[in-house]
Amino acid sequence: MKLKHLLVLPVFTAMGCQPVQPGSYDSYEDYPVVEGQWEEMLYAPASTRFSLWAPTAEEVNLKLYADGQGGEPLRVLSMEAAEDGLWRVRADGDWKGRFYTFDVKVDGVWLGDTPGVWAKAVGVNGDRAAIIDLDDTDPEGWGQDTRPELNSFADIVIYEMHHRDFSIDSLSGVARRGKYLALAEEGTRSAQGQKTGIDHLKELGVTHVHILPSFDYSSVDETRLDQPQYNWGYDPKNYNAPEGSYSTDPYAPDVRIREFKQMVMALHKAGIRVVMDVVYNHTAVTEGSNFERTVPGYFYRQTPEGGFANASGCGNETASERAMMRKFMVESVKYWVNEYHIDGFRFDLMGIHDLATMRAIREELDKIDPTIYVYGEGWAAGAPQLPADSLAMKNNIGLLARIAAFSDEFRDSLRGPFGNDAQGAFLAGYAGHEAGIRFGIAGGVEHPQVNAGAGHQVPKFWALEPTQFISYVSCHDDLCLADRLKATLPDASPAVRKALHKLAETAVLTSQGVPFIFAGDELMRDKQGVHNSYNSPDEINAIRWELKKQNRDVFDYVRALIELRKAHPAFRLGDANLVREHLEFLSAEDDNVVAFRLNGQPAGDTWTDITVILNARDKATAVSLPEGDWQVVCRDGRIDPVQGLGTVAGGEVRVGARSAMILHR
């Protein structure tokens, strides 16, 4: 490990605190740690205080600027070493509306301007931090904003969306297309008269909107928003300020903050919670990142050879196990909750983070509000530089109470394997994936019948509770569902693909795990076969709202599935023991059929005996049910959980090709 030297004489801090003896550190574990709040800028009309944690610095300058870009500094102030590796300075006078950067000298080299690691407001492209009073950014009514009620994680239905995908279509009827404010616009209609925007979300009935990265990321140039640009945003620059390209004015630091809050408030008013996609596992650049320009090496893991480790596949991997990186993540999520009223977090490549950090995050969020939901990708892009048993990987989810992970097993059993877009599975009519479907239906918890049949076996029941299991068939990554069905069944008719689309959504929304829908799948949106569309143009990524009219039956089907799930607690038992006791898989004679019964009684469901049959065959199947009068609510691609679709007697029940049947008595 590289040694860091400090050759500065003892100094007294500007605040008149204890004398400080900066030292040299043999390892990152020896670096001092900031106690209490980690603030880099505290504004007051009389003076603004700045502090930067830079324990290996020899000198630190603060530069004050008139604007967010360009021009010479108005002033350069030399900061003074203080306690805990901090450097401090005070700028007298009222600096509101101005901008600042730090410049840190380490080993004789000035590292270059950085807004610091904790900038809460930034100018265009996030190159300079801004001096603002956060209270000025609260929209009217913000003080009364409250989270929509949530009794249990089991009640959650997640909708994953990108701001631009969701509203950029010129037929969306939205005025602020591609912006935060698109989600605050009521009454929007497509050119065909269908509800769009937030009205669409209300109509669909989802409980949570998961917004793709909306912190300040680097790939979209905020100075040329008049030109077409697109990125998912998994390239973090400033973790604690909103992205500028989704605001109506990326130059005005307060605007993106205020508009983000307006979006959250509007969604809350609509009864919808907001999940942020967070990407603490890597930064967009390594050399030149805010971390590297502040405390070189510290925030990232190194390989044994001393280079930057790269489990993210993006050039670096952060070091959550180090005290100040852990503190950074914990305080950052708390900040988004407290300042922006965020209701949940989705951790990108969560498997890069260590278990202790994820536990600390859960613990701190619980202190604020235990209904805040946390889930993540339980994997990494490469092997992280920590022992496997200490990482927040899917197989360690049992060690992370009340944190969930995506189930790639359920996804792949439905649509086919990651890495081979043309290979199908259950939906494409291939036998042998029944165990993976049962695993998904049971929400990933140990269940005696999941591995009972022939074919592939599920290797590990990794969820201790079904609320730790995200059920999905597609997300922003890879092909979306419509494209995957096209790729795996190139000769199938549109009607067949539509039937399978509905069947897939039925599996996801009748799973005991937490259902997750990729925005636009409810309209059978496609991405023209592009699987890694992270920087594809709008033509690929935008939801085309004319689809809502065109595929209205798919939308109504998904909407009704959500309605069914909300009305019937048997589909969301929320407890592993209840799932084991009250979810029973029925034997099916044919391959490619999964059938199960739910006892609704213990959950207080008005439907005491529910049967769901998923038939992915290209022909009908028959399943034996007990004799009796069964009310059919879903059959042959139609669903009506309220009025029902008639009755059948028990005995042999026939289920049409590529369709689901749901009945109760």
Show which residues are catalytic. Answer: 348, 377
Q: Is 258 or 415 the residue whose CB approaches Ca ion more closely?
A: 258
Q: Is 216 or 277 the residue whose CB approaches Ca ion more closely?
A: 216
Give me the least distance between CB of 439 and Ca ion, in Å please.
39
Q: Is 15 helix (H, G, I), strand (E, B) or coil?
A: coil
| 233 vs 244: CA distance, rounded Å | 11
Q: How far apart are the first and last CA of the chain?
A: 67
Nearest residue (beta carbon) to Ca ion: 216
**At a CB cut-off of 8 Å and minimum separation 6, what does 144 contact?**
none
**At a CB cut-off of 8 Å and minimum separation 6, what does 17 contact?**
82, 83
Q: Which residue has the tokens 């300042």?
A: 339
List residues binding Ca ion (CB under 5 A).
216, 243-244
DSSP string, 133-161: -GGGGPPTTGGG--PPP-S-GGG--EEEE
CB 508, CB 473: distance < 8 Å = yes
Q: Is 123 or 344 the residue whose CB approaches Ca ion more closely?
A: 123
Nearest Cα residue to 408 out of 470, 336, 341? 470
| 110 vs 107: CA distance, rounded Å | 8
Dihedral angle of Cα 593, 594, 600, 602, to the nearest 10 degrees: 160
| 346 vs 258: CA distance, rounded Å | 22
Give the β-pairing of 514-518 and 158-161: parallel
Nearest Cα residue to 356 out of 315, 325, 314, 316? 325
CB 518, CB 481: distance < 8 Å = yes
CB 69, CB 128: distance < 8 Å = yes
DSSP string, 16-76: ----B----BSSGGGS----S---SEE--SSEEEEEEE-TT-SEEEEEEESSSSSS--SEE
Q: Is 368 helix (H, G, I), strand (E, B) or coil?
A: helix
Q: Is 216 or 591 the residue whose CB approaches Ca ion more closely?
A: 216
Q: Is 127 or 354 the residue whose CB approaches Ca ion more closely?
A: 127
Query: What pairs with residue 661 in β-bridges?
Result: 613
| 148 vs 206: CA distance, rounded Å | 12
Residue 485 tokens read as 């069905």
Determine the Cα angle at 402 with ends 397 and 406, to 5°.
Answer: 50
Give the β-pairing of 41-42 and 47-53: antiparallel
Give me the least distance between CB of 229 and Ca ion, in Å please.
11
Q: Is 565 helix (H, G, I), strand (E, B) or coil?
A: helix
